[in-house]
């Protein structure tokens, strides 16, 4: 980023807000008894698919980013939740989420193009690296805490995730259930 501090910077996220909650709430309900109190359940009003995680840019540059985002990504699109999984792994389950795919367009390449645009802009900075598109259901309160212990019922949690994958997934959210948004301060 440039050293000009006279202009205001803003933190942004680009994501699809999920407006259909019943299947996600049911999956959270199934997992709930097996997660420890160190996990936070994502509020149903904040279900989303992150396209570009936190980045910083000049407020004056926001119209350019918004224009690119809304020209490149469909405003409404079907998205398929394909698998429940643990991030970064089953043995270190800091996040419990659903992998998602877009059947109608190449989400990853469009997202990567936007990330390259952010990286090239001298007044912008990528703060977090993008990860595979997903919907977070539970997260550890402090994901950077290296002393994280596994939930006491880890084997039941693993079994429940496996059962969710057989029973509920894949599941497609139709285009009326997701809306593209670029926001300054999520949830």
pLDDT tens for residues 42-59?
998 889 888 888 888 888
Q: Which helix (H) or strand (E) holds 136?
A: strand 134-140
- When divided into structural domains, the chain yields a total of 1
Question: What is the domain-level CATH number for residue 41?
Answer: 3.90.1140.10
Q: Count the Cβ atoms, other than its own, within 10 Å of residue 19.
A: 14
* Residue 181 placed within a domain: no
| Range 162-168, long-range pairs (CB < 8 A, 24+ positions) | 163/30, 164/27, 164/30, 164/31, 164/84, 165/83, 165/84, 168/23, 168/26, 168/27, 168/84
- The residue segments making up the domain with residue 39 are 9-176
Residues 6+ apart with CB under 8 A from 182: 12, 13, 14, 62, 65, 66, 69, 70
* Residue 47 placed within a domain: yes
pTM of the model: 0.83
Q: What are the angstrom distances between the C-alpha of 119 and each of 50, 57, 113, 158?
A: 18, 10, 10, 38
Chain segment 67-112, per-residue pLDDT in tens = 888 788 787 778 899 999 998 899 888 899 999 998 888 888 888 8
Structure confidence at residue 26 (pLDDT): 94
Res 5 pLDDT > 60: no
* Residue 125 placed within a domain: yes
3-state secondary structure of 127: coil
Give me the residues paired with residue 48 across strands. Answer: 17
* Residue 3 placed within a domain: no
* Residue 183 placed within a domain: no
């Amino acid at each position: 980023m440039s050293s000009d501090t006279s202009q205001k910077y803003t933190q942004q996220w680009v994501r699809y807000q999920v407006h259909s909650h019943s299947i996600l709430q049911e999956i959270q309900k199934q997992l709930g008894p097996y997660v420890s109190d160190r996990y936070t359940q994502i509020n149903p009003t904040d279900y989303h698919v992150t396209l570009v995680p936190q980045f910083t840019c000049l407020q004056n540059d926001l119209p350019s980013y918004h224009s690119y985002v809304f020209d490149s990504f469909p405003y409404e699109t079907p998205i398929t939740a394909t698998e429940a999984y643990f991030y970064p792994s089953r043995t270190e389950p800091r996040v419990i989420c659903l992998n998602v795919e877009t059947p109608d367009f190449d989400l990853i390449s469009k997202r990567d193009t936007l990330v390259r645009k952010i990286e090239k802009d001298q007044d912008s900075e990528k703060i977090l690296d993008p990860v595979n598109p997903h919907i977070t259901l539970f997260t550890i309160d402090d994901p950077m805490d290296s002393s994280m212990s596994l939930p006491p019922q880890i084997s039941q949690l693993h079994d429940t995730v496996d059962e969710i994958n057989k029973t509920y997934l894949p599941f497609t959210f139709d285009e009326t259930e997701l809306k593209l948004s670029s926001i300054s301060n999520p949830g």
